[in-house]
Structure 1
Amino acid sequence: MQLYNKYNKEQLIKQLHDEDFTRTTISFYRYVRISDPQIFRDELYREWFSLNCFGRIYVAREGINAQMSVPTANLDAFLEQLNSREQLKNMPIKYAVEDNGKSFYKLTIKVRPKIVADGLDDQAFDVTNVGRHLSATEFHEQIGKPDVLVVDMRNHYESEIGHFEGAICPEADTFREEIDLVVEQLKEEKERKILLYCTGGVRCEKASAYLKHHGFQDVNQLHGGIIEYAQQIKRLNLKSKFVGKNFVFDERLGESINGEVIAHCHQCGKKCDAHTNCANNLCHILFIQCAECASHFQGCCSEECKEVLHAPVEERDLYVQAFQRKFGNRKAFRKGFSQKIKKLDLRYE
């Protein structure tokens, strides 16, 4: 069988919305030795394709990191398949807090050097010497204590729409950038109790080991991340100390944890926590946009990008060249930094 998707995005999204059954959004990860990631990947693709699973999965020699959408009727069969593999047996599964069943529209499994792009040399420190795992209730009870520092190990565009009360939220654009930023920012706090958290827990595994390597004495991490915390707090009928929305890396782009909106539209400043990508694919910046601005700017981050969106085909090369001269490449549009949402005079450079 073909071990990759053969339809375009528009076809796949239409097929998803035409489905007459429910899906369940789940996530899981595990650091485990995989001797041949490519063979492992191909086997998983065959199995999960046969169950009509969608998702984004990374496989590496160090393990697996998966966010998936599984037909609810096939969920038991999917979990049985996981348990049939020694590397994936008894996998802790995290279920989405808000789930419309439209989180993914295709199955993508990629072989990567690492399951999280951290840019670290794993030979330089003991990656197995991780922090103490705290349950949701243990983490909940520690928040707000005077001797405790709560640190958000996610990127700034994630923490901007939701975070734990009093958390330190570094303005970092990547996980690799953030790890060093946290070490530097907290270098005088190595005796304090540190509580790390992220979306599902996988980033904290590496981050906690890195902090301990740099001399931090009391490093703790939220087991299962924000997703598990939200489920447990709801089950125990406790008031959430996570405020706002949890950013997720799928079509939903976020799930509300306590119903509050703490972010603002990057264009007009109105309260809003809806992320979108600029409709001008030359830009494609991830930013927050309210419904009114989305209508006015036609999904773009600026009037200039709206102009590019409607430029005649024969003129688009001029805009491409202007963007390249000004920014070099698309990475210059740092994800979600509101100061980047500004007018760009591209035509007269």
Structure 2
Amino acid sequence: MNATVEQLAPVEQQATELWVVAALYQFKEVTDPADLQQRLLDLVQTIKLCGTLIVAGEGINGTVAGDRHAIDTVHQFLLDEGFNDMEYKESQSHDKPFRKMKIKLKKEIVTLGVEVKPRDLVGHYLDPKQWNELIQQDDVILIDTRNDYEYKAGTFKGAIDPKTETFREFPEYVQKNLANNKDKKIAMFCTGGIRCEKSTSLLLQEGFKEVYHLKGGVLKYLEETPAEESLWEGECFVFDGRTAVTHGVEEGVNVKCHACGWPLTPAEVAQPSYEHGVSCVYCIDKTTEKQKQGFRMRQSQIAAAKKKRL
């Protein structure tokens, strides 16, 4: 199987006001990932769906958006395929969250780069209430397993930022920074829970004794935890057009710099360094004027395409 095989399905503009957004994953043996990819591609040709689904020998992962019928159709398809223990969460978006529908074939449904066995070796799951009780204990090391730009948008109070740009860097972080803490309580979290399935498996494989993670991730926590009881600070970065969500999984105020991908607060958008789709305070000095001109051309093309659809 190739490292990555991607196929696209056309997506028509949705007529309904709200898009249903479904984030899902399950670690489950898939005997013929290419066949599952093809059948999913055939399915999404018949419904109005956008987003990304990743298929691998170890399971399925992705976030998709569509009308109620489209989401129910793909959900039922996966249930019929035996994915009946999915971590599955829904939210809503007023705007189309993704431009296309992608079905990707990969070696891993979330890329750690180190072989682990999340179906056999995984940490202690905690629901939001149990999580709040644990992470307020003085002897707990709380680690955000997400990437640096996700941490920037928001995180749990007291959480450590590993400063990783990709999840592939997390095993190196563990080796360099946690190797002497194998007898400590380690609590980890991520957006939807999938990265923690692998990170807890990795730590247990490396000999850590007490490893915990937030079941359903930050999205489930924000859905179930009242703001007045929450230990979350800021917003939760999401990989779709909403940029970030807050309590109740409502769309937040952060916007994404489409030049570098970092989430920006309204105050950062108001700075002179910000030019939509071209630069922000985090990347203005990291690109050449020629690159910025290319970004401007791209933005004008996007604007023209949107105007044509209206």
TM over 0.5, yes or no? yes
Q: CA deviation at 1:183?
A: 3.8
1:276 aligned onto 2:266: no
Q: Equivalent residue for 2:32?
A: 36
CA distance in 2, matches of 1:101, 1:49: 21
1:239 aligned onto 2:229: yes
CA distance in 2, matches of 1:257, 1:294: 30
Kept in 2, the 8 Å contact 1:165–1:242? The answer is yes
Q: Which moved more, 1:225-234 or 1:71-80?
A: 71-80
**5+ long unaligned stretches in structure 1:** 260-271, 279-284, 312-349
Q: CA deviation at 1:291?
A: 2.7
Kept in 2, the 8 Å contact 1:197–1:226? The answer is yes
1:187 aligned onto 2:162: no
**5+ long unaligned stretches in structure 2:** 1-5, 295-310
- The Cα offsets for residues 61-82 of structure 1, whole Å up to 9 and x where unpaired, read as 1111111102124443333323
Kept in 2, the 8 Å contact 1:37–1:59? The answer is yes
> 1:140–1:296: structure 2 CA closer, same or farther, 3 Å change rule?
closer
CA distance in 2, matches of 1:217, 1:258: 34
Kept in 2, the 8 Å contact 1:246–1:257? The answer is no
AA in 1 matched with 2:111: A
Following TM superposition, the consecutive aligned residue runs of length 4 or more in structure 1 with deviations greater than 6 angstroms are none
Kept in 1, the 8 Å contact 2:50–2:101? The answer is yes
Q: Superposed, which structure 2 residues align to 1:117-156 within 5 Å?
A: 117-122=111-116, 128-156=120-148
CA distance in 2, matches of 1:51, 1:183: 45
The match for 2:157 among 159, 162, 165 is: 165
SS in 1 for 2:102: strand
1:92 aligned onto 2:92: no
Q: Which structure has greater strand proportion?
A: 2
**What's the TM-score once normalised by structure 1's chain length?**
0.72
CA distance in 2, matches of 1:90, 1:215: 28
CA distance in 2, matches of 1:171, 1:139: 23
How high is the sequence identity, in percent, across the aligned residues?
27
The higher-RCO structure (CA 8 Å, 6+ apart) is: 2
> 1:74–1:116: structure 2 CA closer, same or farther, 3 Å change rule?
closer
The match for 1:254 among 239, 244, 260 is: 244
CA distance in 1, matches of 2:85, 2:9: 33
Kept in 2, the 8 Å contact 1:172–1:178? The answer is yes
Q: CA deviation at 1:101?
A: 4.5
Q: Superposed, which structure 2 residues align to 1:191-270 within 5 Å?
A: 191-234=183-226, 238-257=228-247
Kept in 2, the 8 Å contact 1:95–1:227? The answer is no
CA distance in 1, matches of 2:200, 2:85: 23
> 1:287–1:38: structure 2 CA closer, same or farther, 3 Å change rule?
same
AA in 1 matched with 2:21: T
Structure exhibiting the larger radius of gyration computed from Cα positions: 1
CA distance in 2, matches of 1:226, 1:205: 14
1:114 aligned onto 2:108: yes
SS in 2 for 1:110: strand
Count of aligned pairs between the two proteins: 278
AA in 1 matched with 2:234: G
**What's the TM-score once normalised by structure 2's chain length?**
0.80
> 1:198–1:288: structure 2 CA closer, same or farther, 3 Å change rule?
closer
Q: Which moved more, 1:209-218 or 1:74-83?
A: 74-83
The match for 1:286 among 261, 265, 270 is: 261
Q: What do you get for the CA RMSD once the two structures are aligned?
A: 2.7
